[in-house]
Every structure is written in structure tokens, then in C-alpha cells.
Structure 1
Amino acid sequence: MKKHSILNLLFLTSLLTFFTPSLEAQQELTAKEIVEKADENMRGKSSVADVDIQIIRPTWKRDMNMKSWTKGDDYSMILVKSPAKEKGTAFLKRKKEVWNWIPSIERNIKLPPSMMSQSWMGTDFTNDDLVKEASTVQDYEHKILGKENLNGKETYKIEMIPKPDAAIVWEKVIVWVDTRDFLQLKAEFYDEDGELVNVMNSGEIKMMGGRKITSVVEMIPVDKKGYKTLIIYNDIVFDKEINDNFFTTRNMKQLK
């Protein structure tokens, strides 16, 4: 082979090396894929959970217990088991419809999208936080802002902006997702004026239901000193077969 042919070959090889992404770069996840993995970690194909809720205020504390069922993004059910005053109250999400069964008046009420931003039963979580009418994967545009160290863990910092047709109260949400286990460790919620309203922290990572999850989630309203609400997972089972017909307004009244 002539000398100039060898030089040309070496030049072409160097160009290909320069312009071809490395294997690591090719495998880099998109922001949407990261959020989807974090969401799937806490949901699975389905989940059945026993959960305590603590509403903490400067001068008092209130405890609740509930059972929840989820199936993918389309279905979720929540049954309040205590205290006695709210026992039997149920919430149902079926696709884009959200219903509330109130046993004291024996009525099923369909919740409009405008109520999704309101407090869930006096907690610092909204109806949407608990019932999850909005999908963190499908109803937002996602962008990686970089990587940050959070409490000793490397995380992806991701900005989520609601899509124009999504009925979401927040102007933007910023989440931090652990790069190793893909667990969401923190979220910040901003209003239409760009002001930070709520901070959600997730921690106490444990093995439950055969997978690693954050077993305690706290929501803190930034402008209310001494206010916060804790969600504590006592038990959770993933990927149990649940028929779609479980998630009906009729079944809400019969839950035990």
C-alpha cells in the first residue's frame, strides 16, 4: 500500500473515532427515561400498599392509615382505614376520571381537574399527589439540568415542564433522581410566578416487596413554618395481578 493511502486511512479512522459516540454516550438515558424508571420503581406493573400518614403542625399532630392499590398509570384506589371519622372514605382514579366516595353521606363525587391542586384530606399533599391524575412521564416535557450530589448520592437533576394540554397547577417541577438505583430523592414544585411552593423529600431506603424503595416521603410547604406531612410505607407488594374491574365506583363502596 502506498504511503499516502496509509495516511488517508489513518485520517479517516481518526475522523470516525471523533464523530462516533462512545458506547457510554450511546447508552446515556434521556430525561424522560430516567423519570420513567423512577416512576416504575415505586409503582411496578401494580402495587398494593399499607401506608401511615402523619400530618404535623406547630401545635398538633394527626395520624391516618390507608391502603392503596395501583395498576400502571391508568388506575389507582385509596381506602382510608383510620381515624374512625374518615374510615371508609375512598378515592378512585380510572384513566382521567377521579372519584371520591364519602360514606357519611353515602355519595360518590366526581372530582373536576380544578380540585386536583387542593389539599388531600387536610394534608400538605394535593389530590393529584396521592391519586395521581397527572402522569409524571406522559404529561411533562423533561430536561436534564445536570448532576448533583444530594445527601452523599449522585443524582440527575431534571426539570419537568407541564405540556400545554395537561391540567397541572405547577409551572414547573424539578426532581432529583439517584443515578444508581433510580429512586426519586427530592422534588421542588413551583407556581406560575416561578415561586417555590412545596419541597418533597424521599428517604429511608429499604427493601420492600422485593425491590428497593424510599419508605418515607415528606412534603413541606415552604411558606408555612412547622408544617409538613409524612407518608410512611409499612408494607408494599408489587406486580400482583389486579383485574381492571377492581377499579370501579361500585367497588369503592365495598372496600374493607
Structure 2
Amino acid sequence: MKKIHALKILIITFVMISPLGIQAQQDLSAREIVQKADENMRGKTSAAEIDIQIIRPTWKREMRMKAWSKGDDYSMILVKSPAKEKGTAFLKRMKEVWNWVPSIERTIKLPPSMMSQSWMGTDFTNDDLVKEASTVQDYEHRILGKEEINGKETYKIEMIPKPDAAIVWEKVIIWIDTEEFLQLKAEFYDEDGELVNVMNSGEIKILGGRKVTSKIEMIPVDKPGYKTLIIYKDIVFDKDINDSFFTTRNMKQLK
């Protein structure tokens, strides 16, 4: 299995999308397309109010959280409910990821080996939420062609982790809208080439003054009836956030 992760940039002018060598529309490279999609949902900075629903065959659980990000280097997540997990926080600062657990008043540094584990019982991994890895810098990208997803033409792009990247997936395939560069689907494959998770994104809305996919669902393919929903309720983009906000000291004080 490929071990552990990192983060983003450098531009390729052309990329081959088939043995015939068809160019991407407007000569965009696969890397540039992925970068545009990433910037659409991230901005220079972002602050988002998010609901999470964990759905199982016999029960359903909901959480509410707030998340902040600044470029690729900084992100913070605060769990606001339910009461049992309220105040739990996750911090990514450069290459380090930390977890504050208020019930035991302890800050835990997460090793790279934990990034592939479930985030708080959801179908997302720690890395999916905290984004230790960069979809731009930590992968090699190749356009496989174009396909229609929910009535929209998309670029189908294969992402292979770089040898030195700390990524558990053998490959990831993503579908990005050719007009608005919104990621609409992703498939995650393990080291045996088996499909593990499918992520669908939809309910396109204007939030924070830009068009985004406001609902994301992660579905494990070998667990019928299992899925996790992430629903963006509000996002503020490009408001200044000082680097000092993203510290282990501050994660204990978030409200």
C-alpha cells in the first residue's frame, strides 16, 4: 500500500487525454482543471457552516460544524453539535494535523498513518475533511476524456499519487464540469485497483457570492445503506484570516 500524504502548483501546457492525443478544451492541462475546481470551493480563505448526516441502515446521526481554511497550508474544523462532541477541533498547519479533545482536555498530533481512518465515524477519512493531501500538488493528472454527469459535460480526470505523497489511494478518478469547473463526482480506488468509495456532489447554489456544490455524499461501495452527507449552509470567501488563528492554542478556545 502507498503510504502517507502532502500539498500544491506548477503548470503543464498540454496533456494527452487518449492514445490519439486529443487536447483538452482551450488547451487546459489536467492539472489546471483540477486547480480551478479546487479554488472554486476553497478561495484564498473560506469560513463555512456545515451540517453532516451519517446514514446507516437502522439509524441516522447528525453533526454541525464550522470550518475555516487558508490556502493549502491551513485549515481548522470545530464541532458545534451534538453535545457529546461539542468543542472537538481539528487543525491542519502546514504538514501537521492536530486534534483537540475537550472531554479529556488533550491535544493529539495525528500521525500520517491515521489520515486514512474514518473521521468521527463518518464515511469520510481524516484526510478528506482536514485535507492534508493536495489534489493539485500530490498527484499526477491525466485527462481520460469527457462524460456527461447529471446533464453537464465534464472532464474525466485520473489522479495518481506521486511516489513521495502520503496517500492511501492507488488512484482517484474525478469528473469536473467543463463550464464552471465544479467537481461533480469522484471515485477512490485501493492498492488492488478495487473501487472503495464514490463521492457525488450536487445541489449547485450561490454561496459566498460564488457558485458551489452545496451537497456532497460519500458512499462506500461494499456497504449497502451506508452514506455520509456534507451540506454547506453558508460560506464566506476571501475574508482575511491571520495565520495565528491556525494554532493549537486557538483550537482549544474556539466557540
Q: CA deviation at 1:151?
A: 1.1
Secondary structure, aligned partner of 1:105: coil
Question: How has the CA–CA distance of structure 1 residues 25 and 116 changed in structure 2, closer, same or farther, with 3 Å as cutoff?
Answer: closer
Map of 2:158 onto structure 1:
159
1:42 aligns with 2:41: yes
Map of 1:99 onto structure 2:
98
TM-score if structure 1 supplies the norm length?
0.90
* Partners of 2:24 and 2:143 within 8 A in 1: no
Map of 1:90 onto structure 2:
89
1:203 aligns with 2:163: no
**Runs of 5+ in structure 1 lacking a partner?**
1-23
* Partners of 2:50 and 2:232 within 8 A in 1: yes
Q: CA deviation at 1:60?
A: 0.2
Aligned CA RMSD, in angstroms, stands at: 1.0
- What pairs up with 1:100-249 in 2 under 5 angstroms? 100-249=99-248
**Runs of 5+ in structure 2 lacking a partner?**
1-22
Amino acid at match of 1:228: K
Aligned-partner Cα distance in 2 for 1:25–1:172: 21
Amino acid at match of 1:139: D
* Partners of 2:174 and 2:186 within 8 A in 1: yes
Larger of the two Rg values belongs to structure: 1
Map of 2:14 onto structure 1:
none
> How many residues are paired up?
233
Amino acid at match of 1:146: G
Stretch deviating more after TM superposition (24-33 or 149-158): 24-33
Secondary structure, aligned partner of 2:254: coil
* Partners of 2:155 and 2:178 within 8 A in 1: yes
- Identity between Structure 1 and Structure 2 (%): 86
Amino acid at match of 1:220: I
* Partners of 2:145 and 2:157 within 8 A in 1: yes
Question: How has the CA–CA distance of structure 1 residues 124 and 25 changed in structure 2, closer, same or farther, with 3 Å as cutoff?
Answer: closer
Map of 2:252 onto structure 1:
253
Secondary structure, aligned partner of 2:27: coil
Aligned-partner Cα distance in 2 for 1:192–1:101: 31
TM-score if structure 2 supplies the norm length?
0.90
Aligned-partner Cα distance in 1 for 2:24–2:41: 27
Q: CA deviation at 1:27?
A: 3.5
Q: CA deviation at 1:25?
A: 7.4
Q: CA deviation at 1:28?
A: 1.4
Secondary structure, aligned partner of 2:253: coil
Deviations 1:138-166 (A, max 9, x none): 00000000001111100000000000000
Question: Relative contact order (C-alpha < 8 Å, sep 6+): which is higher?
Answer: 2
Aligned-partner Cα distance in 1 for 2:142–2:25: 17
